[in-house]
Amino acid sequence: MNEDFLIEDAEKAITVLQQGGIILYPTDTIWGLGCDATNANAAEKIIALKQRPSNKSFVVLVASEKDILKYTASPDLAVFDYLKTTQKPTTVIYEHALGVAENVCNNDGSIAIRICSDEFCRYIIKRFQKPLVSTSANLSGELSAGNFLEISNTIKQGVDYIVQYKQQDKSLGTASSIIRWEKGKAQIIRP
């Protein structure tokens, strides 16, 4: 794919996000359902599409460490040093979410955030200038799709835009590791 096509694809996704819609997009792990993480109505659309419990929190993708500082209260900056040592994309549960929709966070006010390493996805986040919800592109209780070809038609038909980038990629993605950063150490939730 040429660069102009990638930019056009990303811009179409951004327009849908700005309108409160849902996108189906590749991340640095697996394909995800995404929306504006600051828009509670958009998050509700994903909850309905996935048929998932409304009290289950989401993972949020950001483009940089600076974004973590914007959407969490007083994170321990040592977590950034830890993240530089991880081999696998790692989602961190931070205490005290700020500036995101309430239904995106956990009931205790914490939030799961990953600094995305995929350049295409980072481009969307930077241009959109807001964090993105990122949840696996499957119905609740079903296995996560490893690539675009494994995503059900129910999911594909339920979104407002499907990103073209990486649709033909048959390699299988895997979910991120999840940690909770407590007292200067990583508590492993999902390896």
Question: Is 91 within 8 Å of 115 (Cβ atoms)?
Answer: no
pLDDT score for 88: 95
| pLDDT value at residue 1 | 52
Mean pLDDT, consecutive 10-residue stretches, the chain (191 aa), reads 85 98 97 98 97 92 96 94 95 96 95 96 97 96 93 97 96 95 92 94
- What does the pLDDT read at residue 42? 98
Distance CA 162, CA 117 (A): 20
pLDDT of residue 5: 83
Q: What is the pLDDT of residue 4?
A: 85
Was domain 3-190 assigned CATH 3.90.870.10? yes
Q: Nearest Cα to 9, choosing from 21, 23, 20?
A: 23
10 Å CB burial of residue 13 (0-12, 13-18, 19+) is buried
| Distant-in-sequence, close-in-space partners of 188: CB < 8 Å, separation ≥ 6 | 177, 178, 179
The reported pLDDT for the residue numbered 121 is 95
Q: Break the chain into its structural domains and give their ranges.
A: 3-190
